[in-house]
A = this chain, B = another copy of it.
């Protein structure tokens, strides 16, 4: 694991984020990873920040609401395709994704949430702010009908990037 600047592979990460990155959350002895196709990297409050969205219905939501941190692992070259597809459709409530997929972990460097091995780029993030979406302020009706037909809105989590790494 080689430490990189938070934005060093930002372009490459955004090139592939639509194909799936892995958001990993740990609460006590409960660990889960889910596939995210969205995310944003920038500087907010003078700090490098990774913003992720998690729906209320997700098992990850239950875990992340009880912790102050998360990691994001990003395969840049199409590896872990089967794994990200699987983690995008199965819930950690029903299966242990790590056992099912034989996912290997890398220990957190600054925090205690692990990364998913065999990705290329990893971020470890401390949550500094979060907010449930307010449906009344979503102006784009295409977004609403495409992503929220059942009203299962997201919570937005702002994670201060404590460390960024190249595997």
Using a CB–CB distance below 8 Å, which chain A residues touch chain B? Answer: 6-11, 14-15, 17-18, 37-47, 49, 51, 53, 68, 127-131, 133-134, 137-140, 143, 146-147, 160
A118: shortest Cβ distance to chain B, in Å?
Answer: 22
A110: shortest Cβ distance to chain B, in Å?
Answer: 16
A55: shortest Cβ distance to chain B, in Å?
Answer: 12
Instruction: Determine whether the beta carbon of A45 is less than 8 Å from that of B147.
Output: yes
A120 to B105, CA, bound (A): 41
Q: Contact partner of A129 among B10, B44, B68, B138, CB < 8 A? A: B138
Q: Contact partner of A68 among B14, B131, B139, CB < 8 A? A: B139
Q: Contact partner of A42 among B40, B45, B47, CB < 8 A? A: B40
Q: Contact partner of A11 among B8, B37, B68, B160, CB < 8 A? A: B8
A45 to B140, CA, bound (A): 10
**Contacts of A138 on B, CB cut-off 8 Å?**
128-129
